[in-house]
Structure 1
Amino acid sequence: MTPNFIDENNVKWLFGTEATQAMTENLNAQPATEMKELAELFGEAATTAELLMRSATRQGKSISEEHTQRVRNQMEDLSRIAGAMAKTGNGLAEHYATYVQDAAKRWLLTLDVLRQRGDNFVEHEAAGCPPVLIYDYEVVVDGRNLDRPCNYQLLRIVPPQGTEVHDWKRPYIIIDPRAGHGGGIGGFKTDSQVGVALHDGHPVYFVNFTRDPVPGQTLADVTNAEAEFVREVQRRHPDSAKPVVTGNCQGGWATLLLAATNPDLTGPIVLNGAPVQPWSGEVGKYPMRYNGGILGGTWQPMLWSDLGGGQFDGANLVSNFEMLNPGRNFFAKYYDLFANPDGGKDRFLEFERWWGGFFILNEAEIKWIVEQLFVGNKLVKNQAQLEPGQTVDIKHVKAPIIVFTSYGDNITPPQQALNWIVDSFTDVDEIRIRGQRIIYMIHEQVGHLGIFVSSKVAKKEHTEVTSTMKTIEALPPGLYEMKIDSVEGHGQDKSFTVSFAERTIDDLRKIDDGREEEAGFAAVARMSEIQSEIYDIAVRPVVKSMVNPALSETMRKLHPLRLQRSLVSSVNPFFAMLENAAQQMDPRAPVSDSNPFVQAERLWARMVEQQMDFVRDARDALYEMTFLSLWTNPLAVDFGKPQAIGRTLKSETELRALPEVEMALAHMSSGGFVEAVVRMLVLMADSRGNVRRDRLERSATVMTQDEPFKSLTMDERTRIIHEQTLIVTFERDKAIATLPDLLPNKKDREQAVKVVQFIPGKIEEMAPDTLELLQQFHKVLGLKPVTEDVLEDPLKKTKPSTAAE
């Protein structure tokens, strides 16, 4: 303990008895306070040490295991190739001559493909970088003509010949990411999101954007335009349900902004690989989230925007993406083309047409994205404002939210896609109270682009989201994980068994390995604000004075990503000659895979890629440990505490006091057949914890195709489900006890319990809790116990008397 050097008697003589007592208490308490602060300091230091140890251990283990195995495989291949060469003997020279001849042809063909890529780039740039959709389309609304103009457009996808779509079916609107590239990735393959929706007969619309933004446009203008797009789609399809809006990556959080600021506008929203909680991740993985702390915060895009004459070049974002995997982006994709220039040509050019389309953002747009989202994390903290006074609250979203994420996504890992739910809601009860349905799926392997392109491993998820959408809205409010349990059939006849498992906020927390490192991001956010202020006052005037439009345009054209394409094109006389040379070359007969020199070439390529991957992995480990050392130490954490404060979460007592809860509980005994059936279905869903798709489809059939439910509008149906969910959540026992008040007529009681029993199916397939609850319904309603199956829809034959009344 810290000794007390103040003599109590002297203090008493100077200040009196009361003052002495007060000062003595303060002095005696001081050591305890100091010890507490010291303990907190040691605790924070221990946390930093633990994070560094965890990072070093995981990174070291991952690097060691992966690269040791890859080197071992290479040594085995090298030994096998050497042995094959030794056995070949005199034929080795012939194999070599054949290989050299083929390799020379492949070099020529590869260079010619790169020339074609350059020509495509020049042509694409000259055309203004139109969307890379493989489907025909027509422009429905041009955002440049709206009251608040922006460079966004609403496109209607023209169905291919032989594909029939129905205007009465729910439309799909797809919003692609505007993160450096152009639009079209959600529909540049037949098995993409567009293709899946068209195949199911749904009208499909696409939100595109032109290369150059309208001067002065902001993200508020963009959100306003997207809302107008949704209204136009609804005007075109008055007999259909509200459209599904699918957002990819950056388009995902843009979709969330749209639904939060226009809560009554959209149908279900789908967020694919959307980084809504950008601070989150897993220690030892996902280095991209550390960019703000290592490369600088908001001042960086401010500087690049000033150099661009008030516009930010999206090619800079693409460069960041390429640096995530330099082995693939700088070597392997080119070697794959060289290894098979004939068969790989079309695929290479198709992807590069999108990857090489670089788009522009206004300075206000990129600053909002960095300041409010990626560095500031203000959207999740309920602090983000599209416009002064217009705070965006995620809790305002009324439509079902479907989140698709993957462990194989190194740009938007599951933690970034899902932790916003943890930070926004107290528990699942609050999700129910708010009337929200949040459904998520986690794939094990598919990468970031595969989520949008709908690669084979992800296609079944997109198919199931589309075909199950109509049944998702029949779910009671809550948090669910959508799982594809089994697959039957092949090809076009393939079908999936889907279930929806109820989940809790704690289930989402288990996906993460802890969030201690996020305190460092708060420190980065505060430092970013200081840096941007200093830049704005001291540096920006100097930079702007040195920049003119000609210089800005020259810098854009000389960007390395543009330069490598424009130089290797027919604009360059040297490469212009390649076209004739490639056409005059004799047809290439691929060398056999058994040729030892072909095998040696492939081994060399694997070794080069492995070495580049090793450098990348070492860089990522250093990157992460540097961030943790700089920003998670006690001083930095203390510095960042003002920015670490999240949104205030309401307690259970506060949630119960919400007006909508009090209103629902006050009308517990009000209603009739519809309210009684919905309440019993909510109770059953609550007891099961897992809902199979066949049962959900039966529930959706009853709720949408049978009277008296059929006459309800979607909003009325949603309101009743929400109201009954509130009653079940807060007063479960009374919810059951008051069922007779809703069903005074015996005939209606019998009809209602038959409808409810029809949903889970056969008695032998029911969970014990479900059967027990059904028996409880019968008992409280004064009916005989359940003994027989109800396998046909009772409402198809008769109508409840309350409906007729």
Structure 2
Amino acid sequence: MSARVSTKSFLPLLNIEKETKRWNQLYKVMTEPKPDIIPTPRKCVWKKNKTTLWYHPAKEKKHAVPVFLVYSLLNKVYILDVGEGSSVVGGLTERGYDVYLLDWGTPGLEDADLTLENYIIDYLENALKRAIRHSGAKEMSLMGYCLGGTMAAILASITSLPIKNLVLAAVPIDFSIGTVPQKWLDGIQNGELSFDRFANAYQTLPSEFLYLMFKLITPLNAATMANLYTRAHDEIYVEKWRRMDKWTKDAQAFTGAAFKQFFNDFYKENKLLKGELVMDGRKVDLKNIKCPLFVFSCSRDTLIAEKQSLPIMDLVSSEDKTYEVYEGGHVSLVLTGVFAEIMDPWLSTRSHDLQEIRS
């Protein structure tokens, strides 16, 4: 006597439409050119060397205090304005903020002698001054992300410019710990590992080196590809993935002088945390920061550990200070479009409502 066995319990039914879309999207990722990045409407209001200050007007202005965004020198700034639905800049302009975005540009060999001090004083401070003058506002909210947050905190501690609020996201403050391999960190701190000769030889470090360095400390390619396959049927997700993939591979060059200062003054000597850093003859003392402060970290950040950010909460003199941890990774926090959602509730109550001022 024979028995017929149904295969229904063994083979799940395939959603043909979903699977077709999945493989079409994967083919698109593999074969089509990288997507164009269309910025939020903007105009250039200041320029120095390779650096540009972009002004993004609010769609419907609701807040009197504009927001000035600072990003890291190590990567390209368009991660903060990477496309509709993900853009930090667009999210803020939609919520009624005028936004100024500092784009450092790509340094060439002729810029090899530019130090972090040059970037913070000659570029960042002057750009902030120009933004305040352009906006006509009495004060400006300063927001820094990643190493841009470190630079924003440094500037806030030494400048006389009117900073109303300071927002720092995934910011490294304590460089005695980190997500770089421990042997690297130990070698830098005890003097066995130095990048000085390497930086002197290249003068301006090529983008390929920075890309390789980040690949070594964040080996997530397998995970990101697995995520892409799992959600390839979702056109919105795939489009965001393609923008992220473009930005990840679009590495930034870095001046030799700034690179040496970064590793020697920060990773080796940890001068910022110790209060030993000096910029343009001005001692960098984070206790000088007295404005409202909002700091937030990411729970799955593989670049900036939460312990690197936390010390600033005890170092500043701000009475109004908030620290939060949000679910997400270093880059996914930006690409999901929630960055502006995180900032807005805190920032809106400290940015003066236009109707209240007019009344």
Q: In 1, Cα distance between the equivalents of 2:38 and 2:346?
A: 21
Partner of 2:153: 256
SS of aligned partner of 1:437? coil
Aligned pair partner of 1:187 in 59, 81, 86: 81
Partner of 1:88: 7
Partner of 2:44: 139
Structure 1 position 134, deviation (Å): 3.2
Give the alignment's TM-score, normalised by structure 2.
0.80
Partner of 1:520: none
Question: C-alpha offsets along residues 687-738 of structure 1, whole Å, 9 cap, x if unaligned?
Answer: xxxxxxxxxx9xxx7xx899xxxxxxxxxxxxxxxxxxxxxxxxxxxxxxxx
Partner of 1:332: 223
Letter in 2 for 1:333: T
Distance verdict in 2 for CA 1:454–1:175, change over 3 Å = farther
Distance verdict in 2 for CA 1:120–1:447, change over 3 Å = closer
Letter in 2 for 1:440: T
Distance verdict in 2 for CA 1:397–1:331, change over 3 Å = same
Partner of 2:52: 153
Does 2:281 align with 1:362?
A: no
1:671-710 equivalences under 5 Å are none
SS of aligned partner of 2:102? strand
Q: Which has the higher strand share?
A: 2
Letter in 2 for 1:136: P
SS of aligned partner of 2:152? helix
Q: In 2, Cα distance between the equivalents of 1:325 and 1:182?
A: 17
Q: In 1, Cα distance between the equivalents of 2:358 and 2:319?
A: 22
1:262-281 equivalences under 5 Å are 262-280=159-177
Q: Which runs of 5+ in 1 are unaligned?
A: 1-85, 125-131, 145-150, 281-285, 426-430, 472-696, 707-805
SS of aligned partner of 2:323? strand
Aligned pair partner of 2:324 in 442, 463, 466: 442
Letter in 1 for 2:182: Y
Distance verdict in 2 for CA 1:336–1:402, change over 3 Å = closer
Does 2:30 align with 1:114?
A: yes
Structure 1 position 248, deviation (Å): 0.4
Distance verdict in 2 for CA 1:421–1:441, change over 3 Å = closer
User: In 1, are the aligned partners of 2:299 and 2:325 still within 8 Å (CA)?
Assistant: yes
Question: C-alpha offsets along residues 221-267 of structure 1, whole Å, 9 cap, x if unaligned?
Answer: 211211111111221232x3311111001100110122122133422
Say how many residue pairs are matched: 342
Q: In 2, Cα distance between the equivalents of 1:237 and 1:136?
A: 16
SS of aligned partner of 2:279? strand
Aligned pair partner of 1:373 in 266, 277, 280: 266
1:571-586 equivalences under 5 Å are none
Partner of 2:135: 237
Structure 1 position 269, deviation (Å): 1.5
Distance verdict in 2 for CA 1:332–1:236, change over 3 Å = same
Does 2:296 align with 1:420?
A: no
Distance verdict in 2 for CA 1:264–1:195, change over 3 Å = same
Does 2:315 align with 1:465?
A: no
1:484-633 equivalences under 5 Å are none
Letter in 2 for 1:156: Y
RMSD of aligned alpha carbons: 3.6
Letter in 2 for 1:169: A
Q: In 2, Cα distance between the equivalents of 1:355 and 1:450?
A: 12
Letter in 2 for 1:134: P
Partner of 1:783: none
Q: In 1, Cα distance between the equivalents of 2:86 and 2:126?
A: 28
Does 2:146 align with 1:227?
A: no
Distance verdict in 2 for CA 1:109–1:396, change over 3 Å = closer
User: In 2, are the aligned partners of 1:248 and 1:452 still within 8 Å (CA)?
Assistant: no
Distance verdict in 2 for CA 1:398–1:442, change over 3 Å = closer
Distance verdict in 2 for CA 1:169–1:137, change over 3 Å = same
Question: C-alpha offsets along residues 479-534 of structure 1, whole Å, 9 cap, x if unaligned?
Answer: xxxxxxxxxxxxxxxxxxxxxxxxxxxxxxxxxxxxxxxxxxxxxxxxxxxxxxxx
Identity, % of aligned pairs?
16
